Structure 1
Amino acid sequence: MTDKSVVQAFHDAAAQGNIDSLKQHLEQGIDINVRNRQKRTAILIAAMNDQYEAVQFLVDAGANVDLQDETCFNPFLYGCINNKLELVKMMIQANTDIDLLTRFGGVGITPASEKGHVEIVHELLTTTEINVNHTNICGWTPLIEAIILNDGGERQQTIIKLLIEHGANVHMVDKHGVPPIELARRKGYTEIEKILLEAGAK
């Protein structure tokens, strides 16, 4: 059992991007995946503090990139949710598990689509095999989230086009049986309605 103060110092080094200190702790035998009270590992803490050199150092040193904290964050999902493209790319390179779920049961592309993170969505669709039709615990696909949880603006329209181009099913309904096109109409999103009609929605 590692002393709490040693764990704290290791995690502080991750937060500060202090690679020399991280290296020293590892040489002294600390578990690279040791967690704090929030179940966060050093690599997640480094990621959440934009310390990408430290993230890469920990990847190279063998950190488990897939361990999730008590809110289901790992570096990949944190990056998808918070529009951290560089981090997402790093995690894809590190062979992160793209099927891990957020606390709402979505995969990484789900919150990225909802929040209008065009670059993240594009990266996931073009460089991974992420499930574009994954359904979360609310019964929503990324396409549905992109429609109902944002403003219907240009970024959302771009994301919806990207999702459709990469296999999003425009007929998959929500848990109440309502199709995406009806959800767009209810919101008054005429541009999104046009995109869906062109994709064969009825």
Structure 2
Amino acid sequence: MPDSEISFFEAAEKGGIAVLKQSLQDGTDINAVNRQGRTAILLAAMNKRYEAVQFLIDSGADINRQDQTCFNPFLWGCLNDDLTLVKLMIKAGADLTLMTRFGGVGITPAAEKGHVDIVRELLETTDINYNHTNFVGWTPLLEAIVLNDGGARQQEIVRLLLKHGANPDMTDKYGKTPLTLAKEKGYQQIADLLVAGGAS
């Protein structure tokens, strides 16, 4: 890797906009990748260098390019509960159909992890597919139930998904509905929300 690219990536990680600007003027490829397949904008995003992220957006960086583990700035923000980053990426026109290595779209890991603010933002400001099924056969609604503790954050995510039109009867690959799974796990509050949301 050329020294110019190394300094470009380091500047992205540290939020060094002056160095980023000079590197681009010197001919560094804005979409160059490191050994992990990460671009400068992803490195800036992972380190919460929002001004550098915005600078790279404005300079024409490919915001959708994914690294070797399928991360790009939008998906990273969704998984790591970084609402500032997610908002930046939505505003910049992020491709909401790109998937994580498990086949989920951005709302999938956000629902699983209990990131209420991310889920709310995606449902209220984008047309992301909230009924998307990932590689293991789970929708965001199923993920919110199966892969967490059934607590207050998960209840709020279930409520938000149902309010915005998530299908309460889409089953997992074994034919189990969200309501069946909620009852199996003893999540009565979630079961009640599903019934109120029209689950059969």
User: Are 2:69 and 1:75 aligned?
Assistant: no
Give the aligned partner of residue 17 of structure 2: 19
d(CA) in 1 for partners of 2:23, 2:4: 8
- Structure 1 residue 201: Cα displacement: 1.2
User: Are 2:109 and 1:111 aligned?
Assistant: yes
- Structure 1 residue 4: Cα displacement: 2.3
Q: What are the ranges of 5 or more consecutive residues in structure 1 without an aligned counterpart? A: none
Q: Which of 7, 10, 13 is equivalent to 1:9?
A: 7
Q: Secondary structure at the match of 1:73?
A: coil
Q: Secondary structure at the match of 1:97?
A: coil
Kindly report which structure 2 residues correspond to 1:11-160, keeping only aligned pairs within 5 A, or say none: 11-160=9-158
Q: After the TM superposition, list the runs of 4 or more consecutive aligned residues in structure 1 that deviate by more than 6 angstroms.
A: none
Amino acid at match of 2:164: H
Give the aligned partner of residue 163 of structure 1: 161
d(CA) in 1 for partners of 2:142, 2:150: 11
Amino acid at match of 2:181: L
Deviations 1:88-114 (A, max 9, x none): 000000001010000000000000000
Percent identity over paired residues: 61
Give the aligned partner of residue 192 of structure 1: 190
d(CA) in 2 for partners of 1:173, 1:69: 31
How many residues align? The count is 200
With the length of structure 1 as denominator, give the TM-score of the two structures.
Answer: 0.98
d(CA) in 2 for partners of 1:4, 1:170: 52
Q: What are the ranges of 5 or more consecutive residues in structure 2 without an aligned counterpart? A: none
